[in-house]
Structure 1
């Protein structure tokens, strides 16, 4: 009897092992091919493309000389091609790049907001079409931070206040939104998509903490509705000599206490980055895009330190890097050095981009009945252009509704008493600035003098909030958030020992790329009336 029991146990164990191996050995295969007639189907005369990366979300493989790939497959994978340079990806009617296949045979788990439908049986060959496309090493990408509408009305604010300004833009090959595409109501994904479609260029997206399924029990399942609309939350693509890696860095539920969220990555995400970077030339510029900043202002524990360090270590072989985020509804430039765990001599630049929703669609209404929505650090709402030249880059910030040259807000008194000492000052909020930049000022064509970098609230924004609070009538719109310290603010002195009359303050700012920006403001000197 005992020997029979042992034999049955071994048989069960053997079948279990074989079953596990069969599951582990399930594969997905197909071709990456030159879609000559652009119909999305591989035909006999259309050749495969060699050495193109394809991923299942963790593993990354290169196609062989015939363009064929093969990857391990589970019951919940998104297979995607990593677009190589000099090729284009087809877009759908909404200008969303179609570089992926959702493999969820049973569909997404039931949740408040609908996820992916049952995808059924996997095709015998899962092929990815690419089209040859001339890509210059010099190009510009358009970046949106946090559209984040909570209502259809706010979708309309986004569409009219931002999208209309860049509609049908030329000489920009693609755009990217840095998360918080909507504000918790995932039914607004489609209106958001309809709005961004009007930019008229291929549009990439990433997931933010307001784009997740809050009823999910695990982080892996928190992006099911996002996946149904946009595809993988972690993916990569190349353009020119730049390799873009888009990552979901929202851990939900927070692994520390199972509530809210935390910045960081799962192990499978870091494995994807590691496997992806194995196939990227070392002289490429690596651009990482995520929602929650890698930096932690005010020493708040907003990002899991070991995940940031692991990411930094993976980037060590690459001399040229940049990372982007949004989330904070302010704008700041951070530079990681060896003291913060960056493994290179050259600091790593992390750009926390100002948002298209500004301060959550707050503030007075402009002439078009759209909220001004200046952010808490005094940065006006807007969007960024990243200009690439080979493996180098520069960044421009464009204030929505203002001329391109509007790069600073100057605050100074309107009038001072002649020859009377004053504690009034001139303050400059240089929107793209950091403490490493130099700002100069002069009055009435005098000598240029350096301004003092300070870390305080922007008085121009403070005055807006005070005006709101002191108003004796209701102001259309909604009051903005209280001011916080600005990381791109400078101070100079106001002179009162000048002739009675109007005087001009001029500002000259040099950004981190060597570009000069100018601004001016006038004030009056009057004889004392006491």
Structure 2
């Protein structure tokens, strides 16, 4: 894969004290889009360029200079109003890999030796009309472990967005594959079909597990996608992509731990120095900051350092995946967040769902509902200036399918019951309003609960109560859902069918509707 380019960043004072080799080049407006700086093409000033730690701005001629060692990726931080080239697979070309000796010998091939540093490492940009209102497409954890699962991803998800219009770019939030890094190329071939520029995040299943230190755990990823720490601008939004997986885990030299190296945090600090304070900062990484479940999944000090760097930005959003559930988290002062408004982290539901488990649908693709009852799918984030709204799209369902309603099929008339009406509102969180009514009656609030979604419980235990095996693979055991509401069943109505209507108002003020029903019947007595 050829070297690629793109990145705007910080000031020259970060270079003081360096004595190693230096890279120079020009960021230019590529008028004829041939990827080369012709005599008539001018440089672009005040564009950020980084070596992965330092960030500098180009001068009035579009020139920059940075220190490098024998393992650097030079990249340009795309400024608003410009586009970067994409290759034949729609992967953005915004970087140049400098590894004179190439990657070390690893099970999965890394970067070939790049040889001597060129005299000028130039980055092409195209001037474009870039609206402040735009939409991005977000995938969590495609994570195919086999060619068969890659087919499930391609046919079950990518075909829905093939050739999609009015979307600026796509972004996958890590675990692009499942440990077999030879599947990177089939993954790239699948996402190419969306027909839009596609950015990527590295996940813990995308690493070189035979690497002896964290900085070398991404060699195969780099050979296919470039840097795993980079940034770019679009409209009034500044995107920062980070590898937040420390490998091997320093606690026992096994496994991994969520966190950041010192050079990564230095990159974020240098990068943010050049970003206007009124811009929206969107951070994208794989492991969530919120540590869902038990255990110490993220280094507390690293999360705090990141929060400290963001304290002067009132508009922020984090995107993560990894958990194979969907969750909204809001960090406040008690969590170490120093901003006036809470920091929202959207832990996005995955395109692999519950790791391609569950019954097969009519197309032979696993249903793969996640353990919290969220169906597999993907997200659209709509940006307007420095604000955003999120829509979750369930794969294979209409876009207005935003909740699953569970109610008993039949209930005894006049007899009190502990059964209830449950609503799993996929994009919901504790602060949202969910209401229901029966037979066009008055709307009543539902109670937020943290329990296993009974719709998912029923789906799972079908596997344990069947006399005949199903095609596919049993789903994972249920976990508590963070977007579940419960209402009582009125039992003093007439016998017969009764209509249930639900309306949910999300954090963005959008209303979503759902319908179901239940039967009341006379109790059977002996």
Q: TM-score, normalised by structure 2?
A: 0.96
- Structure 1 residue 169, shift from structure 2 partner: 0.3
Shift of residue 363, structure 1, vs aligned partner: 0.3
Q: Which one of 276, 279, 293 corresponds to residue 284 of structure 1? A: 279
- Partners in 2 of 1:242 and 1:301 — Cα distance? 31
CA distance in 1 between counterparts of 2:399 and 2:115 reads: 50
Distance 1:499 1:388 in 2: 48
Give the SS at the match of 1:297.
coil
State the 4+ residue runs in structure 1 displaced beyond 6 angstroms. Answer: none
Quick one: distance in 1 between partners of 2:524 and 2:331?
53
Which residue of structure 1 aligns with residue 296 of structure 2?
301
Alignment check: 8 A CA contact 2:313 2:339 kept: no
- The equivalent residue for 1:6 is none
Q: How far, CA to CA, are the matches of 2:129 and 2:151 in structure 1?
A: 35
2:312–2:339 Cα contact (<8 Å) kept: no
Counterparts of 1:393-472 in structure 2, within 5 Å, are 393-472=388-467
| Alignment gaps of 5+ in structure 1 | 1-20
TM-superposed CA distance for 1:417, in Å, is 1.5
- Give, in angstroms, the shift of residue 122 of structure 1: 1.2
* Secondary structure of 1:373 counterpart: coil
Match of 2:349 among 349, 354, 357: 354
The answer on 1:324 being equivalent to 2:331 is no
SS of match in other structure, 2:351: coil
Aligned position for 1:267: 262
Pairing partner for 1:237 from 232, 238, 260: 232
Q: Tell me which of 88, 91, 94 is aligned to 2:86.
A: 91
CA distance in structure 2 between the aligned counterparts of 1:429 and 1:22, rounded to whole angstroms? 56
Per-residue deviation at 1:22?
11
- Measured on the aligned residues, the alpha-carbon RMSD in Å equals 1.0
CA contact (8 A) 2:425 2:483 kept: yes
Q: Using the alignment, how far apart are the partners of 1:247 and 1:340 within structure 2?
A: 21
Q: Which runs of 5+ in 2 are unaligned?
A: 1-15
Partner-residue secondary structure (3-state), 1:210: helix
**Aligned-pair CA distance for 1:25:** 3.7
Match status 1:201 vs 2:196: yes
- Contact residue 156 and residue 365 of structure 2 kept, 8 A: yes
CA displacement at 1:502 relative to structure 2 = 0.9
Q: 1:365 aligned to 355, 360, 365, which one? A: 360
Alpha-carbon separation, structure 2, partners of 1:514 and 1:22: 52
Q: Secondary structure at the match of 2:205?
A: coil
- Structure 1 residue 23 displacement after superposition: 8.0
- Matched residue of 2:255: which SS? coil
Pick the structure with greater CA Rg. 1
For residues 487-502 of structure 1, what are the structure 2 equivalents within 5 Å?
487-502=482-497
Instruction: Tell whether 2:193 aligns with 1:191.
Output: no
Structure-1 residue corresponding to 2:142: 147
Cα-to-partner distance string for 1:452-501 (whole Å, 9 max, x where unaligned):
10001000000011111101101000001000000000000111211111
Q: TM-score, normalising length from structure 1?
A: 0.95
Q: Equivalent residue for 2:4?
A: none
Shift of 1:356: 0.1
Whether 1:27 and 2:22 are equivalent positions in the alignment is: yes
Q: How many pairs align? A: 510
Q: Distance in 1 between matches of 2:162 and 2:437?
A: 39
Q: Does 1:226 align with 2:221?
A: yes
Contact 2:280 2:315 in 1 (8 A): yes
Local SS of the residue matching 1:395: strand
Q: SS where residue 481 of structure 1 aligns?
A: coil
| 1:24 positional shift | 2.1
User: 1 CA distance for matches of 2:39 and 2:68?
Assistant: 26
Question: Cα offset for 1:299?
Answer: 4.5
Match of 1:135 in 2: 130
For 2:250 and 2:152, the matched residues in 1 are separated by 35
Deviations 1:372-406 (A, max 9, x none): 00000000000000110000001110000000100
Q: Of 76, 83, 95, which residue of structure 2 is paired with 1:100?
A: 95
Counterpart CA distance in 2 for 1:343 and 1:499 is 55
1:417 and 1:265 map into 2 onto residues whose CA distance is 57
